[in-house]
Amino acid sequence: MTEQPIKRIFELFSGIPLTIIAGVFLGVSLIFLLEGITLPVDPAWITVVICGYPLLYLAVWRMIYNKGMSKISSALLISMAMAASVIIGELFAAGEVAFIMAIGAILEDKTVERAKKGIRQLMRFSPDRGRVIIDGKEEMVPIEQVKIGDILRVLPGEAIPVDGEILYGNTSVDQSIITGESMPVDKAAGDIVFCGTTNRFGSIDMKATNVGEDSSLQKLIRLVQEAENNKAPVQRIADRWATWLVPAVLAIAAITYLFTADAVRAVTILVVFCPCALALATPTSVVAAIGQAAKHGVIIKSGDALERMAKVDCVAVDKTGTLTRGDIIVSDAMSFDPGITENGLLLLAASAEAYSEHPLGKAVVSMAKERGLTIQPAEDFKMVPGKGIGANVCGRRILCGSSEWLKENGISVGGDAVFLLEGLHRQGKATVLVSDGAECKGVIALSDTLRDAAKSMVLELGRMNTDVVLLTGDNVRAAEHFALEAGIASVRAGLLPAKKAEHILQLQNEGRNVCMIGDGVNDAPALKTADVGVAMGSIGSDIAIEAADIALMGDEIEKIAYIKRLSNATVRLIRINISISMIINFFAVTFAVFALLNPITGALVHNAGSVLVVLNAALLYDRKYI
C-alpha cells in the first residue's frame, strides 16, 4: 500500500463520524464490562482500530521522517501505552486512551478551525469582478483583468474590488475587515478605499492604485496565513519534552514492574504519563490568540512574536505617521494687520498658494476650502524651492514663505514677528509668512497632530511596567513638543534609519526587551532590529509591514496596549496549562505506582486533564483584552 492511501485512511479515521462510531462501541464495551457480560469479541476493538490507527500512523511517520531525538514523540508513547493495555487484556483501557486522545485532537482542530474562520471570511470578502468604465461605458470584468490606473464604479452595497482613490462621489465605507473600525467611515473625492471593504451608501468612481496580490485584502490574507503557519518556541519546547518523557516513563514503568512484578501497574504508568496536554494545549493557546487578534484588526505573524511581546518592557515609537497622524494641517493664522482677519489672511495665502505643489501650500489651500472661503484667481505664479512662492492676486503681489524669502524681496520682518516665530518653532510647528505688497501681514503655522489615543496608550503601557521612548528623524523641538503632549519622557530625535536601529541595539544592550512601532521605509531597520516590530499596516509602507512581526491593519495605536495584554495572557495561559499537565501527571504516576489507579481509571484521569487544558486554551479566543 502506498503512502497516499495510508494517509487517506488516517484522515478518515481521524474524522468526527468514525470517532463518534468508535465512541459508541466504547460505550457498549463499558456497559458489558459493568454488567459482567462477556462477548467473544470485545466491542472496544472497534475503538482501538479506529482511534488507534491515527496515533500509530503519527508515531511511525515521525520515527521515519523526523531527525534525532524528535523521532520520539507523544504519539509513540501513547501507542506504546495502548499496545501494552491490549497485551494484558485491558481492551477497554486501550480503547479509552485512543478515544479520549481522538476527542482531544478534534477539540484542537475545532479550536484552530474557529481561529481560522477569520481568514475564510476575508477570502469571501474578496470580490471576483469589478465594474470598469471603458470609453464612458460600464463593463463588468474579472478582477484579474483590472489594472492600475483603471477607473471603476462601485454602487451602494457592493464590495470595493481593489485598493484605490475616490475620484467622484461621497459615501460611507464599512472597512472593519481591514481596520477593525466598528463604524462606517465617510469618504469623499481624494480619499483612499481598500479592497474587500463595503460601499454602504453612495455611488463612487475610483482609480485603481493596488490590484491583485498587492491589494490590502490580499496582503491581509497572506499575513494571516503566515501567522498560522509559524510555530512558537513554546510549542517546540513542548515537542522536545516528549523526547525525555518517553525514556523516563519507560524507566519508571520498568522499575515498578521490577519491584512489584505487576504488569498492570506498569501499563497504568504508561497510560497516565503521556504528554497529551503539552502537545495539545500550547499550540491551541497560540492559534486562539492569533485568531482573536485578527478579529480586532491586528495581524500577529507568529506565535514567537506573541511570546517575545510578553517579555517587552520598552516600546520605541516613531513620531510622524505613528505617534502623530502624519497629516499637516493649519493650526494658527495670526494677522499683524488689524484690518485683516484670520480668514482674510488665510484667503490671501490660499489664493497665492493655489498652484503650489508644496505640502505646506496644499495644507493652506485645504484649510481655506474647509472654511468655505472663495479662493481668488492668481497670476504670475512663481516658486523658489526651499524659500517660498509669489503670485499676483487681484492685482496685489502676495508672497508666502520664510523670513529669508521676504527679506530677499525687500520686505522686513519686525521683532514681534520674530519673537512669535520662535515660539511657534519651539512647539514644533512649521511657519509661512504672508506679505501683501511691501508689508508682512501675518504668519500661518502648520503642524502635525497627535493621535487621540497616543496619551492613553503611554499610560496603559506604563501600568504594565513598560516604558515608552520616542525615536524620530524629526527635529528636537518638534519631537519634544509631541513627546510632552503624549507623556513620553525619553526622546531621541534627528535620527537617520541606521541611527534608529543603533538606539534599539543600545536599549537591548542595557537589558531591555524592545518593541518598535513604525510606519515608513525608514523604520524598517529598527523594526527588524527590535525584539518585536509592529507596523502601522493601513498607512505603513510595504517594506515596514514586511519587516515587522505584527501589523496593525488600522492606524489605532491604542491597540499596542491590547497586544501587550493579549501576549501576557497567552504566555501566562501556556504556563498554567503546562503546570496543570505536569501536576496531573505527577499525581497520576504516584497513584499508579501504588496501584490506586488501573489502566481504565488512569486513562480517564490523564486524558480528562488534557481535555481540560485544551478547553481552557480555546476560551482565550473570546476573552476580552481590548
pLDDT for 250 equals 83
Q: Please say whether the beta carbons of 168 and 204 come within 8 A.
A: yes
Q: How many domains does one find in the chain?
A: 4
Q: Average the pLDDT over 55-81 and give the result.
A: 76
Q: Which of 42, 150, 318, 436 is catalytic?
A: 318
Question: Has residue 342 been placed in a domain?
Answer: yes
For residue 401, what are the domain limits?
329-447
Instruction: Assess whether 321 and 337 both reside in one domain.
Output: no
**Domain edge (last residue) among 208, 223, 238:** 223
The pairing of beta strand 163-168 with beta strand 532-536: unpaired
pLDDT for 68 equals 64
Q: Average the pLDDT over 315-337 and give the result.
A: 87
- Cell reading at 11: 484522515
Nearest alpha carbon to residue 194 among 222, 166, 169, 168: 166
Residues contacting 430, CB < 8 A, separation 6+? 328, 360, 445, 446, 447
Reported as a pLDDT band with limits 50, 70 and 90, residue 415 is confident
Chain CA centroid to CA 223, Å: 8
Reported as a pLDDT band with limits 50, 70 and 90, residue 231 is very low
Instruction: Assess whether 10 and 132 both reside in one domain.
Output: no
Residues contacting 581, CB < 8 A, separation 6+? 275, 276, 277, 278, 281, 609, 610, 613
Exposure letters 571-610 (e unless 16+ CB within 10 A, then b): bebbeebbebbeebbeebbebbbeeebbbbbbbbbbbebb
CB atoms within 10 A of CB 45: 16
DSSP secondary structure of 383-410: EETTTEEEEEETTEEEEEE-HHHHHHTT
Please give the Cα distance from 424 to 54 (Å, whole number): 72
Q: Please say whether the beta carbons of 91 and 100 come within 8 A.
A: no
User: Mean pLDDT highest for which of 3-12, 541-550, 575-584?
Assistant: 575-584
Instruction: Assess whether 484 and 346 both reside in one domain.
Output: no
Taking 70 as the threshold, does the pLDDT of residue 440 lie above it? yes
Instruction: Assess whether 31 and 56 both reside in one domain.
Output: yes
Q: Is 449 helix (H, G, I), strand (E, B) or coil?
A: coil
Please give the Cα distance from 411 to 250 (Å, whole number): 94
Q: Please say whether the beta carbons of 428 and 493 come within 8 A.
A: no
Question: Has residue 69 been placed in a domain?
Answer: yes
- Cell reading at 368: 481655506
Reported as a pLDDT band with limits 50, 70 and 90, residue 281 is low
> First CA to last CA across the chain, in angstroms?
52
Instruction: Assess whether 380 and 515 both reside in one domain.
Output: no
CATH number (domain holding residue 357): 3.40.1110.10
Taking 50 as the threshold, does the pLDDT of residue 532 lie above it? yes
Question: Has residue 561 been placed in a domain?
Answer: no
Taking 60 as the threshold, does the pLDDT of residue 64 lie above it? yes
Query: Backbone phi, then psi, for 148, in 5-degree steps?
Result: -60, 135
CB atoms within 10 A of CB 362: 15
- Cell reading at 79: 501507542
Question: Has residue 122 been placed in a domain?
Answer: no
Exposure letters 421-440 (e unless 16+ CB within 10 A, then b): beebbebbbbbbbbbbeeeb
Q: Is 523 a catalytic residue?
A: no
Reported as a pLDDT band with limits 50, 70 and 90, residue 368 is very high
CATH number (domain holding residue 487): 3.40.50.1000
Q: pTM for this one?
A: 0.66
Taking 60 as the threshold, does the pLDDT of residue 351 lie above it? yes
Instruction: Assess whether 320 and 337 both reside in one domain.
Output: no
Question: Has residue 562 been placed in a domain?
Answer: no
Instruction: Assess whether 458 and 317 both reside in one domain.
Output: yes
Sheet holding 514-518, edge to edge: 298-300, 550-552, 532-536, 514-518, 314-317, 467-471, 490-492
pLDDT for 605 equals 79
The fraction of the chain above a pLDDT of 70, given in percent, is: 85
Instruction: Assess whether 231 and 216 both reside in one domain.
Output: no
Please give the Cα distance from 137 to 303 (Å, whole number): 49
pLDDT for 11 equals 78
Please give the Cα distance from 247 to 599 (Å, whole number): 20
Instruction: Assess whether 145 and 185 both reside in one domain.
Output: yes
Report CA Rg, the chain: 33
Nearest alpha carbon to residue 300 among 624, 567, 541, 620: 567
- Cell reading at 593: 505506582
Instruction: Assess whether 467 and 404 both reside in one domain.
Output: no
**Domain edge (last residue) among 223, 246, 269:** 223
Reported as a pLDDT band with limits 50, 70 and 90, residue 8 is confident
Chain CA centroid to CA 365, Å: 37
Average pLDDT, the chain: 83
- Cell reading at 279: 502537545
Each residue of 125-162: pLDDT tens digit? Answer: 668 889 999 888 899 999 889 999 999 999 988 989 99
Instruction: Assess whether 255 and 195 both reside in one domain.
Output: no
Reported as a pLDDT band with limits 50, 70 and 90, residue 342 is very high
Each residue of 153-201: pLDDT tens digit? Answer: 999 889 899 999 999 988 878 876 665 444 567 788 898 898 888 888 7
Please give the Cα distance from 320 to 453 (Å, whole number): 15
**Domain edge (last residue) among 430, 447, 464:** 447
Each residue of 385-394: pLDDT tens digit? Answer: 667 899 999 9
pLDDT for 511 equals 94
pLDDT for 229 equals 55
Instruction: Point out which residues pair with 140 in neighbouring strands.
Output: 131
Please give the Cα distance from 576 to 599 (Å, whole number): 26
Nearest alpha carbon to residue 599 among 217, 124, 83, 153: 83
Question: Has residue 587 been placed in a domain?
Answer: yes
pLDDT for 539 equals 56
Taking 70 as the threshold, does the pLDDT of residue 312 lie above it? yes
Instruction: Assess whether 338 and 441 both reside in one domain.
Output: yes
CB atoms within 10 A of CB 180: 20
Residues contacting 70, CB < 8 A, separation 6+? 62, 239, 240, 243
- The amino acid that residue 343 corresponds to is N
Q: Please say whether the beta carbons of 111 and 284 come within 8 A.
A: yes
